[in-house]
C-alpha cells in the first residue's frame, strides 16, 4: 500500500470526519460552512474547520455553491452503508425451487459470515457461493436465492468487461486447468490484485450464441437461475482450451473457451 493510501485512511480516522461525510452524502445540494457545521452539530468553529480541512481535496471539494463530496467521499460513505465495516447479518437456510444439477437433491439458500450460498442439502455442493456485503440481504430474506443469482451475474459481467468489482481497476482473464475441478476462469485485477473465480463455462453464460440458442428453444437464458444451468459445471479440457457443450431440450451447442477466456462456437467435424 502506498503512502498516499495510508494518508487517505488516516484522514478519515476520526468520528467527526465521518459525520461530516455522512451529512454531505445526505444533503441534496452543496452545503455552506455554517450549514454543514450545524448539521454535524459542532459548536467550536475552529475544531470543525480543522477536521473539515483534513477532508478537503481528497474526499470533499469546496465550490462557489458550498461543500460537496468528491468521488472518493461518495465511495467511502457507500462502503459504510454497505455494512462491511460495522454490521453482521445472517439468513437461515431457506428452500430453493429446483434440484441439484450434481445429484438431484434439494437446494437451500443461506447467508452467513458475509457469504451468500445456494447449496445442495444432500451432496453439500455449493452451486453458488461468494462474498456479499451485509446490506445486500436487507429486505431480501424471502427471496435470497434470486437476489444472489442477480448479484453474481452482475459481478461476472463486470469482470468480463474488464472492470474490477473491488477497485474498478483493469482486469485480465485467463483459463486455468484445475486437476480436481476441471477448467476454471480466473480474473485478476492489475491494480489491487483482487481475483474472481468461476467455472470456464460461466464466461459463456451471456454469450450471443448461447442467448440465441436458448431463444430458438423459446427460453431466455438470462432468466434461468444459474443453479439450474447444468452445463455450467461440465467444461472439459481440449488442449490449452476448454470445451463447453450447451444442452437445451436435447439439442447441443458446442463452444470453445480459449486461454484468454474468449468464447467461440466450435467447428463441427
CATH assignment of the domain containing 102: 2.20.25
- Tell me, yes or no, whether 78 and 168 share the same domain: no
The pLDDT of residue 6? 64
- Tell me, yes or no, whether 93 and 132 share the same domain: yes
The per-residue pLDDT string of the chain (269 residues; one tens digit each, 9 = 90 and over) reads: 455 666 667 777 788 999 999 999 999 999 999 999 999 999 999 999 999 999 998 899 999 999 999 999 998 888 888 877 777 888 999 999 999 988 999 999 999 998 999 999 999 999 999 998 888 888 888 899 999 999 999 999 999 999 999 889 999 999 999 988 899 999 999 998 999 999 999 999 999 999 999 999 999 999 999 999 999 988 999 999 999 999 999 999 999 999 999 999 986 54
Instruction: Evaluate whether 56 touches 17 at the Cβ level (below 8 Å).
Output: no
- Tell me, yes or no, whether 132 and 210 share the same domain: no
Domain end among 132, 160, 188: 160
Task: Tell me how far apart the alpha carbons of residues 15 and 205 are, in angstroms, rounded to a whole number.
Answer: 45
Containing domain of residue 248, as a range?
A: 162-269
The three three-digit cell numbers of residue 189, written as one number: 485485477
Number of separate domains in the chain: 3
* CATH number of the domain encompassing residue 76: 1.10.10.10
Domain end among 136, 160, 184: 160
Question: What is residue 229's three-state secondary structure?
Answer: coil
pTM exceeds 0.75, yes or no: yes
- Tell me, yes or no, whether 254 and 227 share the same domain: yes
- Tell me, yes or no, whether 218 and 194 share the same domain: yes
- Tell me, yes or no, whether 155 and 166 share the same domain: no
Domain end among 82, 115, 141: 82
The three three-digit cell numbers of residue 107, written as one number: 437446494
Strand partners, 252: 247
Amino acid at each position: 500500500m502506498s503512502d498516499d493510501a495510508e494518508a487517505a485512511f488516516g484522514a478519515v480516522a476520526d468520528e467527526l470526519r465521518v459525520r461530516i461525510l455522512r451529512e454531505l452524502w445526505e444533503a441534496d445540494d452543496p452545503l455552506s460552512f455554517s450549514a454543514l457545521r450545524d448539521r454535524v452539530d459542532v459548536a467550536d468553529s475552529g475544531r470543525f474547520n480543522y477536521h473539515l480541512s483534513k477532508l478537503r481535496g481528497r474526499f470533499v471539494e469546496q465550490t462557489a455553491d458550498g461543500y460537496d463530496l468528491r468521488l472518493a467521499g461518495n465511495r467511502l460513505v457507500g462502503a459504510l452503508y454497505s455494512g462491511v465495516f460495522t454490521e453482521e447479518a445472517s439468513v437461515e437456510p431457506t428452500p430453493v425451487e429446483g434440484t441439484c444439477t450434481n445429484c438431484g437433491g434439494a437446494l437451500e439458500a443461506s447467508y452467513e459470515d458475509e457469504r451468500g450460498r445456494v447449496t445442495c442439502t444432500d451432496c453439500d455442493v455449493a452451486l453458488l457461493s461468494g462474498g456479499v456485503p451485509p446490506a445486500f440481504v436487507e429486505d431480501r430474506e424471502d427471496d435470497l436465492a434470486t437476489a444472489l443469482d442477480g448479484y453474481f451475474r452482475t459481478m461476472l459481467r463486470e469482470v468480463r468487461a474488464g472492470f474490477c468489482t473491488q477497485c474498478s481497476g483493469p482486469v485480465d482473464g485467463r483459463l486455468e486447468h484445475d486437476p480436481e475441478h476441471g477448467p476454471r476462469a480466473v480474473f485478476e485485477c492489475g491494480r489491487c490484485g483482487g481475483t474472481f473465480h468461476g467455472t470456464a463455462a460461466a464466461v459463456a453464460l451471456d454469450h450471443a450464441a448461447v442467448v440465441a440458442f436458448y431463444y430458438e428453444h423459446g427460453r431466455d437464458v438470462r432468466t434461468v437461475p444459474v443453479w439450474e444451468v447444468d452445463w455450467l459445471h461440465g467444461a472439459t479440457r481440449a488442449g490449452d482450451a476448454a470445451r463447453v457443450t450447451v444442452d437445451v431440450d436435447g439439442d447441443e451447442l458446442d463452444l470453445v473457451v480459449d486461454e484468454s477466456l474468449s468464447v467461440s462456437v466450435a467447428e463441427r467435424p
